[in-house]
Amino acid sequence: MVLFIMKVLVTGFAGFIGFHLCERLLSAGHDVIGVDNLNPYYDVNLKLDRLFQLRLLSNRSTGNLVPVIGCIEDEELVNNTFRKHAPEFVVNLAAQAGVRYSLESPHTYIESNVLAFTNILEACRHNPVKHLVYASSSSVYGGNTSLPFRETDVVDNPVSLYAATKKSNELMAHTYSHLFGIPTTGLRFFTVYGPWGRPDMALFLFTKSILEGSPIQVFNNGQMTRDFTYVMDIVESIERLIPTIPSSNCAHDSVNPVPSSSWAPYKIFNIGNSSPVPLMKYIQSIEAVLEKKAILNLMPMQPGDIQATAADTSALDAWIGYKPATTVPEGVKNFVEWYRSYYKV
């Protein structure tokens, strides 16, 4: 039962996480204004199919979907969308994703992740938005090697431009929280996977190649560990965080500050499974579901990659009473079932 109806603007709504979040919000009866430019970084047909699913859901649920096709780099489009639809809450998931692609197309990351986020912040400043939730990334931990990663860790050593743009988003959000009193919450996602996932992500690539009998690229000779996080755990966390609005932290210590909160209405949270899995074990989980062995092409570490991630999510649990816990075998099974159905394999 929905206690109150929210009007939520979701950028990147035809993307992987955005699609699942909008599904959840619409099913719960909330109204969604979705903004997406449907860019061709990966298969646009997948994005269009997600959009089609959301339209169907909107037609049969009490929640209403208003799709807006366009770039949030376009200041006029952003301002017009806020003025016309007056969202109470904003979830910014639109971004240029991918660590390796940032080596090839750096300007795209500045435009999509920095300029576009400035437009969102300015729109929140000039409209009565109750809470801005935005995607950061576990990549901000960069060169840190002390595990698990905690929000109180210093994150001043990014190893990719993608990570640097996400760190800049956190700094920009804090500035607007301080100057204009806009409540903001940044979310450091840890290796998200699941049905309707991105074709450039490991699970998608591995599943496709194993089924085709093609080799899979295994970086750092397989000596990698990731805190794989199932997409519906991400969505559950975001849904709970949207109406949980941060306030100023009166206990903030300006002599010994921590990066995850301040005197401003500002929060940062890890969203991860807190159960890091070696890459080779992850591959074995895929092989088990597919009942087929992978052909491994062992490769060196790639520029911008980090060897291991692990999330401490105790702050998230304390804030919203939720801890992601979907196991890798369960999540992989759900993805493979979707993949076989979607691609009729």
As averages over each run of 10 residues, the pLDDT of the chain (345 residues) reads 80 98 96 96 96 95 94 98 98 90 89 97 98 97 94 93 96 97 98 97 97 96 96 98 92 78 94 97 98 96 91 98 97 98 96
pLDDT for 1 equals 39
d(CA 298, CA 238): 36
Query: What is the H or E stretch that residue 270 is in?
Result: strand 266-271
Q: Which of 162, 176, 230, 339 is catalytic?
A: 162
Catalytic residue at 282? no
pLDDT for 110 equals 95
- pTM for the model stands at 0.96
107: Cβ contacts below 8 Å, ≥ 6 apart? none
Residue type, 161: L
d(CA 165, CA 157): 12
25: Cβ contacts below 8 Å, ≥ 6 apart? 6, 8, 10, 32, 63, 239
CA dihedral 147, 153, 156, 159 (to 10 degrees): 20
Phi, psi at 185, each rounded to 5°: -135, 120
254: Cβ contacts below 8 Å, ≥ 6 apart? 263
DSSP state of 141: G
In CATH terms, the superfamily for domain 7-194+229-274+306-325 is NAD(P)-binding Rossmann-like Domain (3.40.50.720)
My answer on whether omega of the bond before 265 falls inside 30° of 0, hence cis, is no
